[in-house]
Amino acid sequence: MSVRYRITFFEENMNKFINRRQIILGTIFSYYLYSSVVHSSQKIPIHVYKDSNCGCCKKWIEILENNDFSVTSEDMFPSDLVKLKVKNNIPMNMISCHTAKVFNYFIEGHVPPSDIKSLINKKVDVIGLAVPGMPYGSPGMGPEDKREAFDVFLISKDGSKVYNHYDSKN
């Protein structure tokens, strides 16, 4: 059987098996299926910049590890930590005790793991998320069943807005 015959046979019978539209749609859908499977089955890498003396940072890291994150951390002097925040466009009114980097996003403060995952899956062009200050009951800051209300902010180049709100549980 010649090569020319095999190619002709394939071209004549290709429509019986698959068409170009099915190939394109299959490729697109398999990408989205694969990307959602990756986030559900693999740990998400995140790097935390923190002060070595901060206990709540260590608790937040434990919470991340228990929620499918693979955490690395780096202890920094407080002045170097502030420089890192300023250099990466984290507004002064959004600052907390630690900063993390996950993919291309910066995470400032005690942001719940579910909000970080939500941001990653949305794939939006922003700087990141922040929980300013250290609200009691936010992840790593005491028991959640006694938490005070707090907001998670979405930080973009144009400013910040509330991304998620957590009601008080007092």
Q: What is the mean pLDDT of residues 18-33?
A: 49
pLDDT-derived band at 55 (thresholds 50, 70, 90) equals confident
CATH class of 44-166: alpha beta
Domain boundary assignment for the chain:
3-37, 44-166
**Which tens digit of pLDDT belongs to each residue from 101-141?**
999 999 999 999 999 999 999 999 999 999 999 999 999 99
- 12-49 as b/e, with b when 16 or more CB fall inside 10 Å? eeeeeeeeeeeeeeeeeeeeeeeeeeeeeeeebebebb
What does each C-alpha distance from 51 to 1, 38, 54, 117 come to in angstroms?
72, 31, 6, 24
Q: Would you state the pLDDT for residue 8? A: 54
Q: Where are the alpha helices (DSSP H) in the chain?
A: 3-17, 20-41, 55-65, 78-87, 113-122
pTM higher than 0.85 for the full model? no
**Which tens digit of pLDDT belongs to each residue from 63-87?**
999 999 999 999 999 999 999 999 9
What does each C-alpha distance from 116 to 26, 41, 75 come to in angstroms?
29, 16, 22
